[in-house]
Structure 1
Amino acid sequence: MHFWNLALVAFQPVLKIFIIGAVGGFLAIDRFDILGDNAKKHLNSMVYFVFTPALICSSLAQTITFRSMVMLWFMPLNALLTYVIGIALGWLLIRTTRVPYHLQGLVLGCCSAGNLGTLPLIIVQAICKERENPFGDEDDCIRHGLEYTSITMALGHIYAWSIVYNIVRIYSPKPNVVKVDESAVNKGTDPENLSKCCAVITAEDKSQLNDYIGQLKIELKEANGEAKVPEKPNIMKQVKTLADKINLKVLFAPSSLGAIAGLLIGAVPQFQKLLVGHSAPLGVIQDSVTMLGDASLPAMILVVGAHLLKGLEGFGRQLPLVAGIIVVKLLAIPAIGVAIVKGAVHFRLIHPDPLYQFVLLLHFALPPAVSVSTMTQLIGVGQSECSVIMLATYSSSTVLLTLWCTIFMWLVQ
């Protein structure tokens, strides 16, 4: 196909997303205030707790089988590589631009977590419905595309809430503890009085503060020439410290539970016959879940559009940081992704289906995941900066994502 024909096919789904996002931004204007702060919060909760788990569960249950899970073994690795490469390049960006500590987790999250949960499903289905799509018959394209994007969607939510959430959380400052002046330590201030310099803390932060004061005591003793008494290693204490830093509860986020349920139904033929299909005895349950899931995509894009409007307020101040994230997320990572996927094809690690290769390539070219914005709201750090980043990356993706989709279709046809 001619390159410009492919570009026109690739632009259609991106334009649809942009239009729905613009409607969300329009509804968030103060004059209308339909998607104000409270409305966004409630709609975001519905997407997080109800719509997205239903969409993931219904999509996986209808499309996934045990055989397809074995055949598509490279897809989880491919999605994981996007996160690993994003974290590595995000770390380089932090070092070169001297990002403040409280924003480092946000930068790593935006560089690593692509919007695997929403955009592939919209883009692939829209491309399949185009008359001149390069992937053949429309029905076959949609059926196989739904299979590939369903797994992509599940992987995106699982990786985002198990990897990125903990990165953002670990790099976030503790708002309940006041920083202790380092000059007081150098002057030999009694560490027993350090607790008086601290604000009221929660039970979760109390153990960390005690450990910090204990470490200051040891440093002061060493400074005064006192012998250091070696402490016996406490394995349980180290495990507890690691568990405090890594929030294991997010592994059981609603989207993860929806993915587990969908994979279980799809992989076990007895469950699939019972729940999936017009002749299934309990098919009404699957139909109800599917109806809930259908509300996920428009609701999520409306919320994104409402958040993007907020990003207009502080765009100028964050320009160098935003430019760096765009280069990493929408230029460098997709180029690396082309080398990875074409290398996997060369060594016959994946089957040669052009649509499958296109979805694998698409993993690397997506703007930051909407869930990063949700994480900043839950943790309470970097919300305004996240809005600016989302505005810039999604605006840029209108051109760059269209360009990459065109290149990907040209490479795989």
Structure 2
Amino acid sequence: MELKQLLVTALIPVLKVLSITALGSYLALDRVNILGEVTRKNLNTVVFYVFGPALVSSNVAQTSTYQNMVKMWFIPVNILITFIIGSILGCLLIQLIRPPAHLRGLVLGCCAAVPEVCKEKGSPFGAPDVCHMYAMGYASLSMAVGDFYVWSYVYNIVRISSRRGNQDYNQSVERSSTSDQATTSRKLEQRIVMVLQKINLKSIFAPSTIGALVGFPIGVIPQIRKLFLGDGAPLRVIQDTAYLLGDGAIPSLILIIGGNLLKGLRGSGIQKSLVVGIIVVRYVALPLIGILVVKGALKFGLVHSDPLYLFVLLLQFSLPPAMNIGIMTQVFGAGENECSVIMLWTYAFASLSLTFWSAAFMWLVARL
């Protein structure tokens, strides 16, 4: 495939997302006020509790046969690897930039936490209808697993770091200068106990994760599958309803992202080097490491050589930070403005990064 065609194939889906994002930003303007802050929060609630789970459950049920689940087992592992590597790079960035304590969890979350290319001419992924079905299945499973990791890992990091930052600030006000006499081992023990006490297990099972748990048995167990899937299925109306609801998830979420990005235009005094560091981690270091991870997994027989499957695995290393992090900063009241600035610039650069890496990944998977 020619380079020009690859770039066009990769650019069209990004332009679609940018168009909806721009519309969301316009609707959120004060003079328009169609997608104001209250409306965005209400719409986000609907997406979080209704549209998202419906999207995940319907697509996971459609594609999660026993044979496909055997093939897709590496997706959760791959996403976990992105979180681990992103966290390591985030820790290195924190040591290098040394941001305020209440922002450290935000930095780790942004470093740790699918374009529609099937229908474009020149796509290397085969028949458009088959490609779209499996792409949505891969993306839905990725969304469910990603939510599990975000709300079990990133959520607690942001919460603990925000509280630690507030505690550090209060202690600095109350005590001008006192040294901590506790030993290093004692400090480590106290920190482990604090983390275990503050982990919120209820947040692990986000609605989309529950949607995946509902979709898996429908797709994998033949007796249940026959009840919900297929033209003659007696309960097919439930699956069709889930599809209808799920269709509203992606455009609604992108509109919300567009509205939320307006906050970043107002600035927050965040260190520019911190924003640049996160962009480098997300769009340079992680994709390059991802190529090594996926090629290594293919070499050792851990994944099959389906181009679409490999493309999704690679793409997971080049996506912008999860917008759920913005919700977390709002909940804990720490780093909300800084998060808006980070999201603004990371999503602005995502338009260029995703175009480049999508084209590069398509070129790569066609030759693996």
Moved more, 149-158 or 94-103: 149-158
Aligned mates of 2:302, 2:178 — CA distance in 1: 57
Equivalent AA in structure 1 for residue 206 of structure 2: A
Instruction: State the SS of the aligned residue for 2:124.
Output: coil
User: Is 2:286 aligned against 1:313?
Assistant: no
1:179 equivalent in structure 2: 171
Q: CA deviation at 1:345?
A: 1.6
Q: CA separation of 1:184/1:338 partners in 2, compared to 1, >3 Å: closer, same or farther?
A: closer
The one-letter amino acid paired with 2:175 is E
TM-score (norm 2): 0.91
Q: What amino acid is aligned across from residue 339 of structure 1 in structure 2?
A: L
Q: What is the CA-CA distance between 1:282 and the residue it aligns to?
A: 1.1
In 2: Cα distance, 1:348 partner to 1:104 partner: 37
Give 3-state SS (helix, strand or coil) of 1:179's partner.
helix
Letter in 2 for 1:289: A
**% same residue:** 50
Mapping 1:257-336, distance limit 5 Å: 257-314=210-267, 317-336=270-289
Distance 2:178 2:346 in 1: 44
Q: Distance in 2 between matches of 1:257 and 1:146?
A: 17
Secondary structure of the structure 1 residue equivalent to 2:29: coil
Deviation at 1:3, TM superposition (A): 1.0
How far does residue 173 in structure 1 lie from its aligned partner after superposition? 2.2
Alignment equivalent of 2:297, drawn from 334, 340, 344: 344
Q: Aligned AA for 1:131? A: K
How far did residue 243 of structure 1 move? 4.0
The Cα shift of 1:356 comes to 0.9
Aligned letter for 2:133? Answer: R
Query: Counterpart in 2 of 1:34?
Result: 34
For residues 261-317 of structure 1, the C-alpha deviation after alignment (integer angstroms, 9 at most, x for no partner) is 111222222221112222211111111122111111011000100011110110674
Can you list the C-alpha shifts for 1:219-257, whole angstroms capped at 9, x where unaligned? 69x9xxxxxxxxxxxx9x999855422111111221221
Q: Following TM superposition, by how much is the alpha carbon of 1:175 offset from its aligned partner in structure 2, in angstroms?
A: 8.8
Q: Greater CA deviation, 290-299 or 88-97?
A: 290-299
> What runs of 5+ residues in structure 1 fail to find an aligned partner?
114-119, 187-215, 223-234
- Greater Cα radius of gyration, structure 1 or 2: 1
Q: Partners in 2 of 1:389 and 1:93 — Cα distance?
A: 14
- Residue 364, structure 1, aligned to residue 317, structure 2: yes
Q: Is this contact kept in 2: 1:311–1:388, CA < 8 A?
A: yes
Matches of residues 67-82 of structure 1 in structure 2 within 5 Å?
A: 67-82=67-82
Give the residue type in structure 2 aligned to 1:150.
S
1:176–1:153 Cα change, 3 Å: closer
- Residues 320 and 277 of structure 1, relative CA distance in 2, 3 Å threshold: same
Structural RMSD (CA): 2.4
- Aligned residue type for 2:171: K
Matched with 2:53 is: 53
Deviation at 1:332, TM superposition (A): 0.5
- Tell me, yes or no, if the aligned pair for 1:318 and 1:385 is still in contact at 8 Å: no
| Alpha-carbon separation, structure 2, partners of 1:333 and 1:342 | 14
Seen in structure 2, the aligned counterparts of structure 1 residues 145 and 105 have a Cα distance that, compared at 3 Å, is same
| 1:182 to 1:54, Cα distance in 2 relative to 1, 3 A | same
Match of 1:231 in 2: none
Paired amino acid for 1:137 = A
- 1:260 partner amino acid: L
Residue type at the aligned position of 1:348? G
Residue identity matched to 1:9: T
SS of the equivalent of 1:348 reads coil
Per-residue deviation at 1:335?
A: 0.4
Query: Given residue 67 of structure 2, which amino acid in structure 1 is its aligned partner?
Result: R
Distance 2:224 2:193 in 1: 39
**Contact 2:152/2:204, CA 8 A, preserved across alignment:** yes
C-alpha distance in 1, partners of 2:76/2:177? 50
Question: Displacement, 1:379?
Answer: 2.1
The answer to whether structure 1 residue 388 and structure 2 residue 341 are counterparts is yes
Structure 2 match to 1:212: none
* Secondary structure, aligned partner of 1:42: helix
Bigger mean CA deviation after superposition, 41-50 or 85-94:
41-50
Task: Judge conservation of contact 1:21–1:301 (CA < 8 Å) in 2.
Answer: yes
Structure 2, gaps ≥5 residues long: 184-188
